[in-house]
Homo-oligomer: A and B are copies of this chain.
Amino acid sequence: MAYETRAGPDAALSALADPTRRGLIEQLRSGPAPVAALAAGLPISRPAVSQHLKVLNDAGLVVAEAKGARRYYRLAPEGAAPLLAWLDAMWDDALSSFQTLAEQEAAR
């Protein structure tokens, strides 16, 4: 089987660190859009948007579908899954650890 694009929490977090890329994600929440349309709402050049989309694609957060000369990008349905799993694990540990601490305090 061929290698899929690496889509762990690391790549996703590193991709979502950039505010411009978060803006692209927000735009794609309305539905699929070609590159030019995405670039129209941003103060940067179209090639820059292409580069950002490549990063998001490599992180597994978006996918592209060629439709004639245009490429429609959309959010990858399961792109955020590993990231959510990682955050949930961390959050659960933080909460239970906090609760243990609080109980020890109360038992004092």
Residues of chain A touching chain B, judged by Cβ–Cβ distance below 8 Å, are 9-10, 13-14, 16-17, 19, 22, 25, 28-29, 31-32, 74-77, 79-81, 83-84, 87-91, 93-95, 97-98, 101
Residues in B whose Cβ lies below 8 Å from that of A94? 28-29, 74-77, 79-80
CA distance A79 to B87 in the complex (A): 10
Residues in B whose Cβ lies below 8 Å from that of A14? 17
Q: Chain A's interface: helix, strand, loop or mixed, by majority?
A: helix
Contact of A31 among B9, B77, B87, B97 (CB under 8 A): B97
Q: Is the beta-carbon distance between B87 and A75 smaller than 8 angstroms?
A: no
* Chain B residue nearest in CB terms to A26: B90
Given contacts A77-B95, A97-B74, contact A90 B17 (CB under 8 A): no
CB distance from A91 to the nearest CB of B (A): 5
